[in-house]
Structure 1
Amino acid sequence: MVPAGGGRLLRGGRVVARVVLVWVLAVGALNLLDTWLTGFSMPEWWQPTVCALLFGVLSAVVWPLVLRVALPVAVFTLGIGSFLLLGAGVLAISFAVPGVVVTDLGTAVVVAVAVAALGSLVSSVVGLDEDELFFRRAARRGARSGTSGDETMPPGVLLLQVDGLGIDTLRRAVRTGDMPAVARMLDDGSHGLAAWHTDWSSQTGASVCGILHGDNDDIIGFRWYEKDRDHMMVCSSPEDAAEIERRHSDGCGLLAVDGAARASLFTGDAAHTSLTMSALPLISGAGRRGRGRDGVGAGYYTYFANPANALRSGVGALVDVGREISAAVRQRRAGVRPRVSRGGFYPLARAATTVIARDVVVSAVIEDMMAGRAVVYADFMGYDEVGHHSGVERFDTLAVLRGIDRQIGRLHRATQLAPRRYHIVALSDHGQTQGWAFADRFGESVEALVGRLCGEPQPDPRRGAHSESSSTAESWQVDAVLAEASSVGGPIARRLRDRVERAGGADRPRTPSGAPGAVARVAPGVVVVASGHLAMVSFTEHEGRVELETIEREYPELLPSLVDHPGVGFVLVRSAEFGPVVLGRDGLRRLATDVVIGDDPLVPYGPHAADLVRRVDAFPHCADVMINSRYDPVRDEASPFEPHVGSHGGLGGSQSRGFLLYPTDFPPPHEIVGAEALHGVLRGWLRHLGHPEPQRAVRGSPV
């Protein structure tokens, strides 16, 4: 066994060896560049040695100081700007060393990139993990300041969210070797695996708000319409995300006690946040209740302070752009169905999510561990993003999943080096269900369908208000589908039409604009919102919830045509006579009494469907008509109302089945239904570890 003092000497020797090796290789690289690179000249033998030393000082000392001022340049150029700045530094070195010639900034950037690449290469060759060096520096700094890890502190927890990864896909990925780090955690018995069932709205907004704040009441979808304000709420809007958190936070969120939120929609009342949507409106102002906000700098600064990191992520991003273009071409050539358009800016946006954001989030988490923070919640978004465009388990989607798995493994190793003991809990906010997009399959979007049934033919039926039209997929003829539905129809459609004929009544006059008109109408007085596998219809000229009987009178073809449509699984409406009613093609279910007439339309959606739908019906902003896409259990497919391949947001299939990977030292969870229940499990684990309870504030007040 090596004594502690000997261990420090050994580690110090490895660091010195690394510095010397980088210096020697940098000298050799500068000599090669002198030979090969036009516009770069070092005629004297001593010049490469001196320049390599000065570049090392620039990278290790001067560059981090410069980055504190120039961080926005690195942030908004995804790291490319950092090399422009380093190139300027190389130019400065050439002016300082007599006889060295660097003709322009482009040449200087090439030199900077080459030398930075050596730093990354040497770290791999000598087997030194940058995280190890990171934590050593933290331990030394903590020892000097008296803030090093306290053995009496309860263990910290890393909550790592793999956005959109359902438990079925995770199990297959573990079996096929696409997630070896997770497989090792399961195989060695350190972790167990459990499933959890999402709410009806199986999307990040409802799930993360429920997980972090213990409350996701009245979050209808990723986007939804609020009739009383004539406003479209969108979870990815900073202002709307802040408003959602204001409504649901009581100051007692999961991260309220010394927590951090990284790349999340909501803060969980954390004192430290970065890349978190609900906190963005606060970055330029004072934090809530005196709490600081790390803003965009957390993770970014630590990551880009090392030029080799920027190079590694830049190369990784370029590789991912190439992988995306190649995958899209292969899909088109092979005639793969379903698929969606993947051109334009998407390859760059994908790389920013799957590589740049992932690496920065990991850097921020390591920084949180170095600081000894109690609970850290981080979201890896890459799998969900690529799954939407490529498919749930296609080869390039699984490549992204392998990259996330490597980062989970890296953080798992880092827990052994942190000044405080940490446990890792991995989870997903929902899964994904694959299918052919509604507009591509049926020739018109759900917005166009509802608009036409409400008397307003759409000029571009394939384009929805919140989607893009796809020119790559063939579609069925709309007229044939609707003609069949109208002429034959299911028993529920016939029953609805009979009710309309018996009731009679004239149409109610409507203003063409559907005033005040802040949100686009698909027909006068009709707003339709699509959110994955869920669509919501609101009639703006009526206050409050519009009842089934009124809808039948004013739009007699709407409900019969919807329940008979082959892309619609079920429809929720409120009846003056029976209360909430779920309508399907071959049957209905009255939720107030659970009376079923014909076939229960909720059976294909699982044993929890009735309770989840009943809960949403009670939400203040529940739409007048709620539409869930049709799920085919034989093929495990459903057609989303947005232009996605893999999608989520409603009920049906894997989208509702998230996963929870947890240490076996923790009390095992029982059946988990809903994000609020998952919050309770996580809260119980923190309590089990000895974490203090946060002080509760008044719900809905500023926190």
Structure 2
Amino acid sequence: MTGDGTGGRLLRGGRVVARVLLVWALVAGALVLLDDLLTGFRMAGWWQPPVFALLFGVLSAVVWPLVLRVALPVALFTLGVGSYLLLGAGVLAISLAVPGVEIANLRTGVVVAVGMALVGAVTSSVLALDEDELFFRRAGRRARARAEHDAEQPPGVIFLQVDGLGVDTVRRAVRDGDMPTFARWLAGGSHRLAEWHCDWSSQTGASVCGILHGNNEDILGFRWYEKDRDHVMACAHPGDAAEIERRHSDGRGLLAVNGASRGNLFTGDAEHVSLTMSAVPVVRGSRWRRSRDGLGAGYYAYFANPGNGVRTFVAALVDIVREVSASVRQWRADVRPRVARGGFYPFARAATNVVVRDIVISAIVEDMLAGRAVVYADLLGYDEVGHHSGIERFDALAVLRAMDQQFGRLQRAAQLAPRRYHVVALSDHGLTQGWAFADRFGEPIEHVVGRLCGGEPPPVRRSSRQAAEGWQVGAVLAEATDSAGPIARRLRARVEGSGGRPPVVEGTHGAVTRVAPGVVVVDSGHVSMVSFTEHEGRVELETIELEYPELLPSLVDHAGVGFLLVRSAEFGPVVLARDGLRRLATDVVIGEDPLTDYGPHAADLIRRTDSFAHCPDIVINSRLDPVTEEASAFEPHVGSHGGLGGPQSRGFLLYPAELPAPGQVVGAEALHRVLRGWLTHLGHPRPHAEPAPAQRVDSSA
């Protein structure tokens, strides 16, 4: 058996040598072709192309990684493009070392470098001699050298989050062949699929903070307004993300013990961090430290191979073409619902779906080969495409197929890591599809609220077709006002009985835009939040009725509004809808229960949100069609999330079968307890109760 193993290793080694020689020959041939095509590039003799190709190979394999350690910021801040300027300079240097080779200038050098790297990358991909094989082989030798020392370590865990992927879509993708790796794991019995129910705020900020830190209290949306500071918090803003983590971290996050955070909003108290929003502004004087893996974990491993930059650039161009093609196909077929997909979006999609994905996966591979205990990473591409295309349209499913391949890649890397690894796939929420509110009803929800509160919102820019439909929508809304439902009539009767009238409110000026004097509206997917800034603290239903008598009746009767939460001085938190109300303090229902279509956990989740310190004065949830499970998001999305109703509330959890079953999981904090329990089950130590350590920041977002 020993002889067979040695023979196998020799055979594999011989194949690698043969492939490298073939790549060398093809790159030399490319140089001959470039000599014919480029006016500023000349090689006089037959021997110069193979020598030049050999030296370029040495530059790429040996010298380039050393140069990149110093010049990494150039690659980091240009997403790899700047690295080819450096390679072009290297090609100029090689031309000086090989007699008879002439390169006119740096631009020609860059073209030659890109041409050789492109040929090498394409050939390596065709021959399966990709960056995985070479990188994994080098790292595997290091891993095997440490394997005996690390044999007593508990298995590591990779938590890979597919942003926005609901459990319903996972089931269909597995069934229809769009996620073959998932299908293979499930069919083979190595993994099991479970569902978890999101919080009312079914979006990445609340979910990831709850999952990583075990606490997501007072996170009301991806954006929300804090009246005491007159400030709109935004999870995607570095300063706000750092403040959110400061409020919720106790130093014992999911990643606190030898963990790594890659591509997330929050760190989970990890000491190895890259592409994580809350870590961007963490400049703590003497406590600032770089990670042992160096600046730009993921970036370095990825851009150390010049071919990766070319491969990513080509893949990004392909993704841009796919996006433009998909957009045109939707428009020509008049697919509905749909949103505008032009402008900068195709480039943003390619950056998210290709460039960042590849860098994050590269960083995870580094973490595995370094033997880190636990890694949590977020892949955002499906969520981005789902927002603009739809949750199960053909281009969204193509993104899932590409992501599924990354799970197979990580499984390969795990075989060479110094410790055993479990891969857990999960999502932070799902997506609910439907016409965007502004497209369906002719004006965004903030304009509706502003108009009802006496403001004069600016006109909505629409195409001629949308404008033609707008007047019909206005007629429908006018008819709805005249034929008000029972709850609207009840609200109007209360106002008329109390003699209430709209007051004259002077305008205020602050850091936040008002849709009407003293009125702020912030949207977060399927939730819209209204705050009255002229009043401190929570404004009660009775005061709203007195000052804005048409606001609540018109909102509950609006065809795009499912229900809204207000606080009553008499009854406490109340959920209002067109045909009924529910008093959450006593669960008394008058008329039809407004939460019937929003799941069995809706009342408890809304009750919890009502207790938050910064809960807005009115929280509006979009209306769900219980038959189609469609709803109109308050943001310009086809597939959206952030509220209750439909697939957005149903995340998935794909976990190794040897781990304990999670049971019923409601809310991100409960999911944190499940994941923490799995780590404990595997033998990972619990973090001590101490302040969070200064993160070793590997990169910026």
| Superposed displacement of residue 189, structure 1 | 0.8
Q: Is the aligned partner of 1:524 residue 2:525?
A: no
| Superposed displacement of residue 19, structure 1 | 3.1
Contact 2:210 2:669 in 1 (8 A): yes
Q: Is the aligned partner of 1:499 residue 2:494?
A: yes
Q: Is the aligned partner of 1:199 residue 2:199?
A: yes
Q: Is the aligned partner of 1:632 residue 2:625?
A: yes
Q: Distance in 2 between matches of 1:537 and 1:701?
A: 37
Question: 1:402 aligns to what?
Answer: 401
| Alignment partner of 2:484 out of 466, 481, 489 | 489
Q: Distance in 1 between matches of 2:225 and 2:395?
A: 35
- Aligned to 1:668, the other structure's residue is in SS state coil
Deviations 1:367-413 (A, max 9, x none): 00110000011111000001101111111111111111111111122
| Superposed displacement of residue 225, structure 1 | 0.2
- Aligned to 1:261, the other structure's residue is in SS state strand
Q: Distance in 2 between matches of 1:63 and 1:292?
A: 21
Q: Distance in 2 between matches of 1:471 and 1:411?
A: 49
Question: 1:350 aligns to what?
Answer: 349
Q: 1:470 to 1:304 in 2, by over 3 A?
A: farther
Contact 1:283 1:295 in 2 (8 A): no
Question: 2:163 aligns to what?
Answer: 163
Question: 2:61 aligns to what?
Answer: 60
Whichever residue aligns with residue 637 of structure 1, its letter is E
Whichever residue aligns with residue 359 of structure 1, its letter is D
Question: 1:49 aligns to what?
Answer: 50
**Could you tell me the TM-score, scaled by structure 1's length?**
0.95
- Aligned to 2:582, the other structure's residue is in SS state strand
Q: Distance in 1 between matches of 2:562 and 2:453?
A: 20
Contact 1:210 1:676 in 2 (8 A): yes
- Superposed, 1:348-387 pairs within 5 Å as 348-387=347-386
Q: Is the aligned partner of 1:662 residue 2:655?
A: yes
Whichever residue aligns with residue 514 of structure 2, its letter is R
Q: Is the aligned partner of 1:691 residue 2:684?
A: yes
| Alignment partner of 1:648 out of 630, 641, 645 | 641
Q: 1:97 to 1:470 in 2, by over 3 A?
A: farther
Q: Distance in 1 between matches of 2:284 and 2:659?
A: 40
- Aligned to 2:616, the other structure's residue is in SS state coil
Contact 1:156 1:420 in 2 (8 A): yes
| Alignment partner of 1:511 out of 502, 506, 512 | 506
Q: Distance in 2 between matches of 1:77 and 1:371?
A: 27
| Superposed displacement of residue 11, structure 1 | 4.6
Contact 1:341 1:470 in 2 (8 A): no
| Superposed displacement of residue 32, structure 1 | 2.7
Question: 2:445 aligns to what?
Answer: 446
Question: 1:39 aligns to what?
Answer: 40
Deviations 1:299-334 (A, max 9, x none): 011101101111111000000011111111111111
Question: 1:392 aligns to what?
Answer: 391
Whichever residue aligns with residue 404 of structure 2, its letter is D
| Superposed displacement of residue 135, structure 1 | 3.4
- Superposed, 1:17-28 pairs within 5 Å as 17-28=18-29
Question: 1:297 aligns to what?
Answer: 296
Question: 2:280 aligns to what?
Answer: 280
- Aligned to 2:310, the other structure's residue is in SS state helix
Whichever residue aligns with residue 480 of structure 1, its letter is A
Contact 1:132 1:414 in 2 (8 A): no
Q: 1:310 to 1:291 in 2, by over 3 A?
A: closer
| Superposed displacement of residue 7, structure 1 | 5.3
Q: Distance in 2 between matches of 1:699 and 1:569?
A: 41
Q: Distance in 2 between matches of 1:300 and 1:655?
A: 32
Contact 1:246 1:702 in 2 (8 A): no
| Superposed displacement of residue 697, structure 1 | 2.7
Contact 1:235 1:241 in 2 (8 A): yes
| Superposed displacement of residue 80, structure 1 | 1.9
Q: Distance in 1 between matches of 2:285 and 2:277?
A: 15
| Superposed displacement of residue 211, structure 1 | 0.5
Q: Is the aligned partner of 1:618 residue 2:592?
A: no
Q: Distance in 2 between matches of 1:443 and 1:598?
A: 30
| Superposed displacement of residue 18, structure 1 | 3.5
Contact 1:302 1:363 in 2 (8 A): yes
Q: 1:389 to 1:62 in 2, by over 3 A?
A: same
Contact 2:270 2:695 in 1 (8 A): no
Q: Distance in 1 between matches of 2:537 and 2:212?
A: 30
Question: 1:95 aligns to what?
Answer: 96
Q: 1:372 to 1:702 in 2, by over 3 A?
A: closer
Question: 1:243 aligns to what?
Answer: 243
Question: 1:576 aligns to what?
Answer: 569
Structure 2: any 5+ residue segments left out of the alignment? Answer: 697-701
**Could you tell me the TM-score, scaled by structure 2's length?**
0.95
Deviations 1:276-319 (A, max 9, x none): 0000112685557x784978611011101101111111000000
| Superposed displacement of residue 17, structure 1 | 3.2
Deviations 1:166-190 (A, max 9, x none): 0111111111111111111111111
| Alignment partner of 1:600 out of 590, 593, 600 | 593
Q: Distance in 1 between matches of 2:2 and 2:694?
A: 56
Q: Distance in 2 between matches of 1:535 and 1:618?
A: 17
| Superposed displacement of residue 21, structure 1 | 2.6
Contact 1:274 1:295 in 2 (8 A): no
Q: Distance in 1 between matches of 2:106 and 2:330?
A: 41
Whichever residue aligns with residue 475 of structure 2, its letter is A
Deviations 1:206-265 (A, max 9, x none): 000000000100000000000011010000000000000000000000000000010000
Contact 1:274 1:294 in 2 (8 A): no
Question: 2:326 aligns to what?
Answer: 327
Question: 1:138 aligns to what?
Answer: 139
Contact 1:324 1:347 in 2 (8 A): yes
Contact 1:545 1:623 in 2 (8 A): yes
- Aligned to 1:638, the other structure's residue is in SS state coil
Contact 1:340 1:473 in 2 (8 A): no
| Superposed displacement of residue 149, structure 1 | 5.6
| Superposed displacement of residue 136, structure 1 | 3.2
Contact 2:442 2:466 in 1 (8 A): no
| Superposed displacement of residue 433, structure 1 | 0.4
Question: 1:107 aligns to what?
Answer: 108
| Alignment partner of 2:557 out of 553, 564, 584 | 564
Moved more, 34-43 or 677-686: 34-43
Q: 1:204 to 1:193 in 2, by over 3 A?
A: same
Question: 2:699 aligns to what?
Answer: none
| Superposed displacement of residue 9, structure 1 | 4.2
| Superposed displacement of residue 668, structure 1 | 1.0
Contact 1:287 1:293 in 2 (8 A): no
Q: 1:35 to 1:2 in 2, by over 3 A?
A: farther
Q: Distance in 2 between matches of 1:500 and 1:220?
A: 29
Q: Distance in 2 between matches of 1:471 and 1:562?
A: 27
Q: 1:587 to 1:574 in 2, by over 3 A?
A: same
Q: Distance in 1 between matches of 2:540 and 2:292?
A: 45
Question: 1:466 aligns to what?
Answer: none
| Superposed displacement of residue 93, structure 1 | 1.4
Deviations 1:51-78 (A, max 9, x none): 1111011111221122222222222222
Q: Distance in 1 between matches of 2:691 and 2:644?
A: 33
- Percent identical among aligned pairs is 72
Contact 2:279 2:695 in 1 (8 A): no
Q: 1:294 to 1:489 in 2, by over 3 A?
A: farther
- Aligned to 2:224, the other structure's residue is in SS state strand
Contact 1:31 1:48 in 2 (8 A): yes
Question: 2:153 aligns to what?
Answer: 153
